């Protein structure tokens, strides 16, 4: 019994959203490739009509306990991915802050925070509604990843946002 109880927190942690890695999807890829890459990162699309410019990909069905909800919106232009946003909603602010810190740490393993990426992000226009804090990372000359800690507000009520966007507007 004691061995089971000691392993329980690890199982719950692995099943929750805090175990998720940053998104690894390149802008400019065709819709079919984006669907495949998002599915490999546990976001599934259920077609319900013709392709749209903005599509929502909920979390795929999976076992385990999660602390919050997550979904992705993908924006396409001429059948190519031009923007990707992962929203995460938590009922507990402490979990949201923990998740944001984990995403920042994971992103920093790939590349340091880039002040020029922050400047380019702000040049695109206003930051996301409810932004409490944001860190920006440059993927390449044309792409920025921004990780937002948000005060939940309609319509998404999200606490954390990871956005892969064009560095140019």
Domain chopping of the chain, boundaries: 2-166
Is the Cβ–Cβ distance between 46 and 25 less than 8 Å? Answer: no
pLDDT, tens digit only, all 169 positions of the chain: 333 333 333 333 333 443 388 999 999 999 999 999 999 999 998 777 788 999 999 988 765 555 679 999 999 999 999 999 999 999 999 999 999 999 999 999 998 898 999 999 999 999 999 999 999 999 999 999 999 999 999 989 999 999 999 987 6
Q: Which two tokens stand for residue 168?
A: 């140019």
Q: Which two tokens stand for residue 67?
A: 């602390």
The string over 89-117, giving b where at least 16 C-beta atoms fall within 10 Å of a residue's C-beta and e elsewhere, is bbeeeebbbebbebbbeebeeeeeebeeb
pLDDT attached to residue 11? 32
pLDDT attached to residue 62? 63
Distance CA 73, CA 57 (A): 6
By CB neighbour count within 10 A (0-12 exposed, 13-18 middle, 19+ buried), where does 155 fall?
exposed
H or E, element range at 155: none
Can you tell me which residue has the tokens 């000691």? Answer: 6
pLDDT attached to residue 63? 53
């Amino acid at each position: 019994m004691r061995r089971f109880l000691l392993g329980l927190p690890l199982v719950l942690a692995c099943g929750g959203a805090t175990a998720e890695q940053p998104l690894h999807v390149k802008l400019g890829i065709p819709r079919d490739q984006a669907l495949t890459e998002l599915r490999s990162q546990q976001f599934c699309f259920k077609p319900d009509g013709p392709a749209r410019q903005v599509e929502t990909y909920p979390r795929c069905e999976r076992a385990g306990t999660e602390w919050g909800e997550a979904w992705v919106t993908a924006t396409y232009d001429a059948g190519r991915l031009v923007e990707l946003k992962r929203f995460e909603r938590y009922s507990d602010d402490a979990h949201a802050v923990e998740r944001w810190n984990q995403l920042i740490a994971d992103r920093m393993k790939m590349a340091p925070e880039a002040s020029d990426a922050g400047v380019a992000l702000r040049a695109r226009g206003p930051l996301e509604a409810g932004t409490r804090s944001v860190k920006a990372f440059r993927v390449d000359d044309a792409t920025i990843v921004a990780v937002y800690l948000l005060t939940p507000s309609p319509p998404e009520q999200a606490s954390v946002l990871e956005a892969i966007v064009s560095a140019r507007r």
